[in-house]
Structure 1
């Protein structure tokens, strides 16, 4: 702006003193001389307030002149004087002697002005580098000067160092000024010094005087906020410059910088709590947990809550440092430096810290297993670098070493071999000859033991970890965590008719829970399943178009994976899936979070295109049984086969095509003993659910109300989150507003409150175009939740009380919920979120919700007519509490027991099933023997409210399975249509 003002001659002209180079130089020298006079006159600067203030003002004026001169045309006499007189040395000494943070901050600004001036090449001057780094070392927390500055000043110091590294990155020729390897030692001297330093607990030769800038960044790299961001980015530039300097590359390999980075990562991991408890805070508990038997209360023992702010802070800092590791490995072009970092990561962090924490975890001490499982999940979520992922999972899962893509000692440089041997000597402990390793107890063993734990928090954490391994790192989970048998046979045996029969088997189970709104919910699940399968890591190989030249480019991770993904079957003796089925059998009484983690795991497992569904999710094609009425089709098979044989493989006729289509459309049956294990477990759950339904006459009504509670709660929460603060209506209690044709209150001044808009939408959905909606089967004359709240609203404003009356119940027909909705729509099983591609199985119901206070849930009496609605108009958040209170009625506290012989007798009546048709002749005998073993299970109990919530989740899970089977069949070509 000053340039344009001078050009056009308008505006405020700068003063002649600031525009004249000579006058500006004279003023600069005058301020500098006054500064020196103040310092010489004072006996003790740190105890003289007037002198300190004078020095601070002098620093500030010198900095202002430098900034003005940088923006002015040449010549820059003040900058030339500062370079020739080397006044930066004097400035650094005076600031260090003052022991005053204000003075130090102005001195940092002075050095920043010199660097930003880009004149006289200050960064290329060795005296300038020595003076600046000496000053920074004295005022830093790790320096010996004993000067401690605040966070704001420290940010400016680290930002100044970051600016220097940015200039080095753009101008590699100035690197020797800031880095100089003064002492080049031989291999024998290196090993001798390294043996001495191993006693102090680290490897590598410390030569801080060679590159003090790098060590300053290392000291601040673990901080959070802007300090850590500047330090990590600056250090990233240093590693990037290693490929341009052989001396720097050698120095990074042999120094203790990799050791400090690895130990720093371990230190941040050690700050995390050793024990965790997954206890949601009462003031922000998800609605799906509120309407269940969730154990509220503080964490047990000394375990820290997963949602505590302290843990979140430490976790964010640790993950940011882990991300920094990935960035360094990504941008570092030096193979030796990158491999040195990987070696230190494996030895100092993975083997000596992360694995021992896994080994020492226990489910009996109240949360250490939960902590390790949750930390590993967060680590795997954050990791994207293929080398780090491979190193971690191969070691923790005890996978055999093979194609690791890492340089062997024969191909590595001599300095890398020397450094690696030194590191191995550090890691070796002669006292621990029988030290445990993953071959004796691996992450697989921890997960399997956690899935069988009696602590449901441990089971939840295990399922979450399994889901992230199978979804993001599927290649490593198959064969280690999940036992499979590989097959090269790609012949398709399943037919279109068998797919329809299997889908109907699961869909029939979902319909028994409730058949209202299934079409809309299923359509949403189809879209989610399509996105889930398209984004899976194994789908790219299956869907590649080699014939058209569109084969996908191989990712870097494929170079280090143990094997390319191929077709495989789930082994019958797989422990992980067997334990999953055991948890599934107690679905109705499980913790809600356990069920959500379980369903997510199963959906993630079924989303792999290479994993065949036969045997565990679908029926083995060899086990299909067809009706006797299809004997004519059996004869057609023989005639078609004879026709093909007679023509010696010639093209079939049109009649042969029709016969083949009819044969593929046959719907098979199967004996009960051949029922897929997952389907059999679901039948057992529905048998228990049937016993509850028989004991509760209004079970269907309560289940519909539970779905509506989820939908209404989500709609109100979304309205509160997205709408502006409502304006309280004036004189609401004095007069009733006029009624519109749709039964909603007429808006005042064109504005309506949130509560008005929400309930006007419900009113329109009930009234429609004048014809009442069809009643929900089983509802009878009992009002659902939305009708009761709407009736209160009508009475509160003096409207027609007949709307929603008990004589003419008309349940609301809500439109399809938004794609961001986390709960099922009213009157329907639900709609999963596209972003959460597993729907309810991916913790869709555990989104953040507005608070539902315990006081609101514990109200024993219903409010007077209009009381809740008047409060809702004043504050829409009161609606959320009303939803919870209405959905937590006294009848829902009734408890049911499972596992006893009485309930088993009820379940025995449901054993005569053979999905797809009637049972075969030996279904009863085979099924009875397998069910006799289940009568001795421990007694389980849960409230009716808890069972209703799990029933909604169960229906969502079954719809997800059906949608996934259908999309897989069409996308991967898993069935024959002829």
Structure 2
């Protein structure tokens, strides 16, 4: 019985102790005194394991008491005791001299408990700030003891919390930022400043600790970048901090840090997929025959991806800083350093030194530029990069800008002098060699990887920054007067011509479903294009969206209506690539078709001449005498607009003429190869089956939704908000159409479109344009059930030793004589391929002695490209049709 009484009594004491401030303080002081005694008795704390263990347990007990007290009602006597006796100074010294990671972790937890209590104004205490920063400098600073990444992340998270408090409470900034060189009025005294700026870590050690960790991956980099972001945001609230940043070496450290991360990326790159994980569309081709350079690093390697993600994260951090920083001087100083130290001294020289002959440097530079432009949305950075690399006129120099302070002007002059070179050295002048030269040269390369990288970069520029491409990457002629509209009759003819071409190339199987999918995709692409706002906006709607900064509005390039010049070098390169479509590698064809669709997605680019017939070339047959009376005059106009025109062969659009040549190549294959149409149909069924299985697996596999960070709020479509903090995920997997030749991005397929979208048909005559609904499909549904037994009969020959597989390995030779645009398909007369075909390669042309262009591909590869080609033609049909209605390009009356 006495035992139970003592037990109950002891339990009551333990329950009452935490709620008793006096007893809690007594325990707190006791544990603190034990920590001090153990530390003072230890001769060498770093080697005394027993003392280290006792002190760690003491730190943990102190932290637990503080956390309990913070959740208890006042008075908080332990916190008062900690503040009055400045016990954090002892904790700092003990942890810094222990050289023990566990001790450092416990000390960080103790400091967190003090800060999270939000009492006794620890963050407003000069002694607390000095003590904490001394502890951090000895722990993770230069020449420090060195700790693990998890502990370092905890320390940086602690710094991030302090920066967040400074952002919300600017009055505590002088505690953490002090400069002995400032005058009473808050202005900095002039000092000797070189191009790098003044390094004064003792003035703002918190800021320098953050800048030392912004390049890290994971939590460390995220917290450091966000904390530094808050520091730059606070500069607009403090003139002293603003002037200090302008004159300090922080902008230089940021720019050189970005350059260091870029320099870690491989100089030579291979974008070939690993053979063990090929998408099906690549496995059903000659992709395995492609070889990468031994010195080139794989784009899909884990180490490379980590370096690339870190670089892109830091690049995104730059635009986040420019967005949040409201100080004009600080923002302009950062932009100057980005331009001179990164863009002009590192990025452009890497472009200049790239070569297609060394096995991957051009691929690397083109890929990095694509990822940079794809990641950036900030108008000032995009404007600076593209104007310099494309050698465009500097519109920003003539546009009004906010005035700078004398210190900011001097800082810019120092940077300009740093970048000044002898006038004789014009090697680094973009007017002599720029991004246009690199892209055009790369699209004409014989290296498929180089061609694909150039096309993907071109697609990004045309899609996101179309105004910068006009006159530089794409040669155009602007529309200076009112042009004639295409008529609905010509639209019907053109749609039927392209659709018939698609069916002749790949058959009728699955065309209806594929076209429905492309209608949705194209509508989403057109609606999201930056040039579409003016074309689809209501007449009384605002033509401009709110810009990020007033001074950058004048530098944003407006896109006016324009034509594509027939002699445009980029267009000629695209046509030449299209002519060899059947023998191109699959990734090149996917990139090529995406570039052409991207070019045609600009609402201001007229389709006449390259995709549609110019109305000036219409020829109409004599309809006989017109009826004298019309019940309504508009009926006559509708009748005239619906007439079916014809045109001379010389007026055939360039792209249509090229596709007709490819169709002739396909027809030659069909005439020579038995069961050609069945092979093509089986290949489409294989793609369709694989896509359906992939979708079914996605639907059946439960996917856990990722937890959303507190600051991760949904953003409206089309807007740009800084990523704070967030890893930059690589979502640009290649090939860009996933596992199937249909569809470019999964996100586009989720967009809804009216079910009444009209579609042309080869069976309905000249109808369907403007019809209220399609009703029953004019194309028969695919009979998949008939082919279940032979669905994968033409899967990659590597997987089976059957005679049919050997047949699909058969090599087909395509020969284009020198100086000719016609390609000859050598079929039955070319079996087997000769070992030495040099006599076939050399032309008999006596003038130039040029070589014939001879290419080979397996039948397996060619059939896959035929399926892709049909999908591309259907995309063109959808593009012409959606543009006609969305942009009102066709006259119905």
Change (3 A) 1:890 1:246: same
Q: Distance in 1 between matches of 2:316 and 2:41?
A: 52
Change (3 A) 1:135 1:188: closer
Alignment partner of 1:613 is 2:607: yes
Alignment partner of 1:671 is 2:648: yes
Cα deviation, 1:568-618, whole Å, max 9, x if unaligned, reads: 011122111111111111000001111111100000101111000111111
Cα deviation, 1:76-104, whole Å, max 9, x if unaligned, reads: 11111111111111111111111111111
Residue in 2 that maps onto 1:179: 177
* TM-score, length basis structure 1: 0.76
Residue in 2 that maps onto 1:423: 415
Change (3 A) 1:429 1:290: same
Selected match of 1:943 from 846, 858, 861: 858
Conservation of the 8 A alpha-carbon contact between 2:817 and 2:853 = no
Change (3 A) 1:401 1:354: same
1:755-904 aligned within 5 A: 835-836=747-748, 889-899=805-815
Conservation of the 8 A alpha-carbon contact between 1:893 and 1:945 = yes
Change (3 A) 1:432 1:263: farther
1:265-414 aligned within 5 A: 265-296=258-289, 299-403=292-396, 411-414=403-406
Q: How many residues align?
A: 784
Q: Distance in 2 between matches of 1:476 and 1:187?
A: 41
Alignment partner of 1:472 is 2:449: no
How far the C-alpha of 1:675 sits from its partner, in A, is 1.1
Change (3 A) 1:458 1:562: same
Cα deviation, 1:952-973, whole Å, max 9, x if unaligned, reads: 0110111111111011111111
Residue in 2 that maps onto 1:540: 533
Change (3 A) 1:599 1:249: same
SS at 1:939's partner residue? strand
Change (3 A) 1:416 1:901: closer
Change (3 A) 1:181 1:189: closer
Change (3 A) 1:681 1:214: same
Alignment partner of 1:48 is 2:48: yes
How far the C-alpha of 1:723 sits from its partner, in A, is 3.0
Q: Distance in 2 between matches of 1:886 and 1:533?
A: 47
Q: Distance in 2 between matches of 1:894 and 1:880?
A: 14
| Larger displacement relative to structure 2 (108-117 or 180-189) | 180-189
| Larger displacement relative to structure 2 (333-342 or 512-521) | 512-521
Cα deviation, 1:794-838, whole Å, max 9, x if unaligned, reads: xxxxxxxxxxxxxxxxxxxxxxxxxx99566xxxx9566662579
Alignment partner of 1:504 is 2:489: no
Conservation of the 8 A alpha-carbon contact between 1:898 and 1:939 = yes
Q: Distance in 1 between matches of 2:575 and 2:333?
A: 44
Residue in 2 that maps onto 1:864: none
Residue in 2 that maps onto 1:592: 586
Q: Distance in 2 between matches of 1:28 and 1:164?
A: 26
Q: Distance in 2 between matches of 1:552 and 1:387?
A: 17
How far the C-alpha of 1:247 sits from its partner, in A, is 0.4
How far the C-alpha of 1:364 sits from its partner, in A, is 0.3
Residue in 2 that maps onto 1:734: none
Residue in 2 that maps onto 1:812: none
Residue in 1 that maps onto 2:874: 959
SS at 2:582's partner residue? helix
Conservation of the 8 A alpha-carbon contact between 2:187 and 2:239 = no
Cα deviation, 1:151-208, whole Å, max 9, x if unaligned, reads: 11101111111111111111111100000121249999957441xxx5xxxx111111
Q: Distance in 2 between matches of 1:883 and 1:724?
A: 30
Change (3 A) 1:173 1:187: closer
Residue in 2 that maps onto 1:924: none
| Larger displacement relative to structure 2 (684-693 or 518-527) | 518-527
Cα deviation, 1:224-253, whole Å, max 9, x if unaligned, reads: 111111111111111111111110111111
Q: Distance in 1 between matches of 2:236 and 2:796?
A: 61
How far the C-alpha of 1:721 sits from its partner, in A, is 4.2
Conservation of the 8 A alpha-carbon contact between 1:692 and 1:896 = no
Q: Distance in 1 between matches of 2:361 and 2:743?
A: 36
Change (3 A) 1:908 1:623: farther
1:136-155 aligned within 5 A: 136-140=136-140, 142-144=141-143, 146-155=144-153
SS at 1:898's partner residue? strand
Conservation of the 8 A alpha-carbon contact between 1:524 and 1:832 = no
Q: Distance in 1 between matches of 2:594 and 2:858?
A: 24
Residue in 1 that maps onto 2:732: none
SS at 1:19's partner residue? coil
How far the C-alpha of 1:326 sits from its partner, in A, is 1.0
Conservation of the 8 A alpha-carbon contact between 1:193 and 1:205 = yes
How far the C-alpha of 1:435 sits from its partner, in A, is 4.0
Change (3 A) 1:315 1:597: same
Conservation of the 8 A alpha-carbon contact between 1:166 and 1:234 = yes
Residue in 2 that maps onto 1:661: 638
Cα deviation, 1:645-702, whole Å, max 9, x if unaligned, reads: xxxxxxx953643332222112111111221111111111111111111110110010
Cα deviation, 1:906-930, whole Å, max 9, x if unaligned, reads: 9799xxxxxxxxxxxxxxxxxxxxx
Conservation of the 8 A alpha-carbon contact between 2:395 and 2:555 = no
| Larger displacement relative to structure 2 (528-537 or 888-897) | 888-897
Change (3 A) 1:481 1:396: same
1:5-404 aligned within 5 A: 15-140=15-140, 142-144=141-143, 146-184=144-182, 192-194=192-194, 203-296=196-289, 299-403=292-396
Change (3 A) 1:43 1:879: farther
SS at 1:441's partner residue? coil
Q: Distance in 2 between matches of 1:72 and 1:880?
A: 71
Q: Distance in 1 between matches of 2:568 and 2:490?
A: 26
Cα deviation, 1:356-396, whole Å, max 9, x if unaligned, reads: 00000000000000000011111111101111110111111
Alignment partner of 1:704 is 2:694: no
Residue in 2 that maps onto 1:746: none
Conservation of the 8 A alpha-carbon contact between 1:569 and 1:611 = yes
Change (3 A) 1:577 1:191: farther
Runs of 5+ in structure 1 lacking a partner? 1-10, 641-651, 726-819, 840-868, 870-876, 910-931
Q: Distance in 2 between matches of 1:907 and 1:471?
A: 32
How far the C-alpha of 1:878 sits from its partner, in A, is 15
Selected match of 2:475 from 473, 479, 483: 483
> Alpha carbon RMSD of aligned pairs, Å?
3.2
Alignment partner of 1:691 is 2:689: no
Change (3 A) 1:387 1:406: farther
Conservation of the 8 A alpha-carbon contact between 2:794 and 2:805 = no
Q: Distance in 2 between matches of 1:71 and 1:878?
A: 71
Cα deviation, 1:523-563, whole Å, max 9, x if unaligned, reads: 2222222111111111111122234x565534448714454
* TM-score, length basis structure 2: 0.83
SS at 1:588's partner residue? coil
Larger Rg: 1
SS at 1:333's partner residue? coil
Runs of 5+ in structure 2 lacking a partner? 1-10, 703-735, 752-787, 826-846
Change (3 A) 1:670 1:886: farther
How far the C-alpha of 1:713 sits from its partner, in A, is 2.0
Q: Distance in 2 between matches of 1:234 and 1:880?
A: 54
How far the C-alpha of 1:26 sits from its partner, in A, is 1.2
